[in-house]
A and B are shown apart, each in its own frame.
Chain A
Amino acid sequence: MAEPLLEVKGLNVSFATEDGTVRAVGGVDFELERGKVLGIVGESGSGKSVTAMTILGLTRDKNTRFEGEVIYKGQDLIDLSESRLRDVRGNEIAMIFQDPMTSLNPVYTVGDQIVEAIQTHEGANKREAMRRAVELLRQVGIPNPQQRVSDYPHQFSGGMRQRAMIAMALSCNPDVLIADEPTTALDVTIQAQILELLANLRRDFDSSVILITHDLGVVAEVADEIIVMYAGRVVERGSKRQIFYDPQHPYTWGLLGSIPRLDRPKPKKLHSIEGTPPSLINLPRGCKFRPRCPHAFEMCQEEPELKKRVDDAGHLDRCWLSVEDKRRLREATIAGEAQEVA
C-alpha cells in the first residue's frame, strides 16, 4: 500500500458545553491515498462534519478538546500552530460546504472571493489572480466566466454557487479536497452534475477527495473507499464493493435497507432504522448502536473495536456478531420485507 497522503489516527473531539461534554467524535481512524475518493457516510450528528472540520482546525476553540493525530505530510495538524495551519488551509487541503447559498459572502463578487483565496497563499497580483479566477470558473463549467466573475453570489443559482465554491477550493491546487455534503442543498439533476464535476476534477487536478454525505447513493457514484460513522465512531470501513455487497455492521444494513432500489423486488414498506441517534452527552455503554440494534446480545455491553473480522483485506467493522450470523441476518434487514411480498 502506498504511503497515505492523510492519516487520521484515534481522533477524539469533544466540546465542553453548559449541558455537559459533547463527545462528537470518539475514535476515528482512516487513511487517504493520493488520487482516491473516500466517502464518509452517517446520519446527522454522527461526527462526519466535525471530523472534516477538525482536519482543517476549524473546530479549534477554548472549549474543544482533541485527542489523536491527523498526519499530513509528516506533520500532525492537531498540534500545528494556527499560523502554520493557515498555510495548509485552502492551499493544500481545501474544503467546500453544504449550503452554497450561505457559504459565499454576499457583499463581494464571486471573482473577488476566488482572488482572495489565491492571494492568501500565492503572491499573485490582482490581475493575474483574476485571470486565474476566470479560468477556474470556466473549468467548473460556469458559462461566460469573463462576465460572471464580477457577479455577486445572489446573481448565481444554487448549482452555480456550488461550482464557484469548488472553483475557489481548487484555486491553489490542493492535495486534498474535503467536500462536506456538497450536493445536499441542490436538486437531483444538479447533484449529478456536481458529482460528475468532482469526479472529473479529481482526475484533472490529481487531488484526493473526502466526500461527506448522508446519501449512500452519492458515495456509490464516486467513492473508492467508504467509512460509515455512527455516534462519532467509525463502525465499518471498506471498499465500495465491500460496503455495498458484503456489509458487516447492522447500522450499515439499516442504511442500505432504507434506500429504495430498482434492482430488487419492491418492498411492502421501506426499511427504517428504529429509534434516534444517542445523545452525544450521555452515550450508551458498550456498542453505541446497541439501543437501536435488533440483533444486540450480551457481548454488546462491551464496545467492540474496529478491526478486521471478515476475511477480506481492508474491510473493518465494529460488531460482535459472527461473520456467518451477519450474512444470515442482514438479508432480513436489507431486503426482508421484500421477501414477504415475493
Chain B
Amino acid sequence: MLAFILRRFIGMIAVLFAVSVLVFIIFILVPGGDPASRMAGKNPTRENVQNIREKWGFDRPIYIQYVKMMEKAANGFLPGSHGEYDILTSFQNRQDVTKEIRKGIPATFSLCIGAGIIWLFFGIAVGVVSAVTAGRFSDRLITTFALIGISMPVFWLGIVMRYFLAEKPNNPPFPDGEYVPLTVDPVQWAYHLILPWFCLSVLFIGFYGRVLRSNMLDTMNEDYVRTARAKGVAPRRVLLKHVLRNSLIPIVSLFGLDFAAVLGGGAILTETVFSLKGVGWYAAQSVGDLDLPPIMGVTLYGAFFIVVFSAVVDFLYAFLDPRIRAV
C-alpha cells in the first residue's frame, strides 16, 4: 500500500510538471512574435519591454524561460513582497494573478462544495430510485427529468432561475447575486448560494443518476447478488450492501474528476451568470480581455486540482475495491 501511495505521488508530480510545460508552450512559445512586447501591454515604453525581456529571460534559452515563468507563478504563493515583474501579473491591470485567484477561492469553494454535496446526494437518490423501479412509471418520469437536466444549458438555466426566482416577482424567494462570505453570515451565505448550487448541480444530478441506474441494473444481474438472495438476505440489505456498494465505485471516479474540474475554475458559466466572483469568473473575465497571465495561472491552478483529485480517486478506489490493492 505504501509503495502504491509513493508511486502515485511521484506520478502526480510528473503529471503536474508535464502540464506546466504544456502551459508554457501554449502561452509563451506558440503565439510567436516577441512575448515581451505582448506582455508590456498597449503603447509600451522601450525600457519596459526591455525590462520584461530580462526579467522573463526572453533573451535566453527556452528552458531558462520556462524556469523563470514557474518562478513567477510560484512567487505569488511565497510570502514577502516582490517587484511587479517578479510575479505573474495580468497584462490589463497589472494585478498579481495568484492574489486574484486566491481572492476567488472562497466563492468558488463555497459554490462547489455545496453543489458537490447536492449533486452527489440527489444523483445517487435518482439513480437508486430509477434502478429499483426500472421500467415503471416513476423510472420513466425520472429518466425524462434527468435527460432534460442533462440537456439544459447552464447559462440558460441560470438566467431563467435568476429571472423567475430572484428578480421577477414582487417578493422573490431568493436574493439576487452577490456572494456573502461564510465568515460574515453563514445563513445569508447559504441563502445566497442556493440558486447557484442547484444550477450547477442539475446537469450532474441527471448524469450521475443515469450512470448509477445502469450500473445498478448491471450489478443486480451479478451472480454474487443472486448468492446474497439465496442466503436469505433481506432485499434492502441486498440493495445497499451488495448492489449499491459495487455500483458506486465508478461514481467515485466520476465525482472526483468533476468535482476537481469545478473547484479548479470549471464552473465558469454558473459563476458568471450569478456574478459570483470566483476563480471561474476570473477566468471568464481574463479570456474576455485576452489577458494571458491570468489564463495561465487559472490553467495551472485547475490542473493542480485535477491531478490531486485523480490521485485521491485512486486511493479511494484501492480502499473501495480490494482487487486494486493487490496491484
Partner-B contacts on A (CB < 8 A): 56, 58, 82, 86-91, 94-95, 97, 99, 102-107, 116-117, 120-121, 152, 154-155, 165, 168
Contacts and interface: CB of A to CB of B under 8 A. Distances in A.
Chain B interface category by residue count:
20 to 34
A82 B229 CA distance: 11
7 contacts: A86-B233, A90-B230, A94-B231, A97-B227, A99-B223, A107-B320, A168-B227
B322 interface: yes
Nearest to B222: A102
Nearest to A171: B231
Nearest to A100: B223
A165 B224 contact: no
Contacts of A106: 224, 246, 321-323
Of B227, B235, B242, B245, chain A has the most CB atoms within 10 Å of the CB of B227
Interface in B293-327: 320-323, 326
Interface in B189-237: 222-224, 226-235
Given A97-B230, A107-B246, A152-B323, 14 more contacts: A86-B234, A90-B233, A94-B230, A94-B231, A99-B223, A102-B223, A102-B224, A103-B224, A104-B224, A116-B231, A117-B232, A120-B232, A120-B234, A165-B227
Given A97-B227, A102-B222, A154-B326, A107 B321 contact: yes
B210 to A, nearest CB: 23
Contacts of A89: 229-232
Contacts of B323: 106, 152, 154
A6 to B, nearest CB: 16
B233 A120 contact: yes
A90 B230 CA distance: 6
Contacts of A155: 326
B230 A56 contact: yes
B229 A58 contact: yes
Contact of B224 (A56, A94, A105, A117): A105
Interface string B143-184: 000000000000000000000000000000000000000000
B228 A105 contact: yes
A323 to B, nearest CB: 41
B232 A58 contact: no
Given A152-B322, A154-B323, A97 B232 contact: no
Contacts of A152: 322-323
B245 A107 contact: yes
A97 B230 CA distance: 10
Of A91, A94, A104, A105, chain B has the most CB atoms within 10 Å of the CB of A105
Nearest to A121: B232
Contacts of A154: 322-323, 326
B224 A120 contact: no
Contact of A97 (B226, B235, B241): B226
Contacts of A82: 235
B232 A91 contact: yes
A102 B242 CA distance: 13
Of A82, A87, A90, A121, chain B has the most CB atoms within 10 Å of the CB of A90
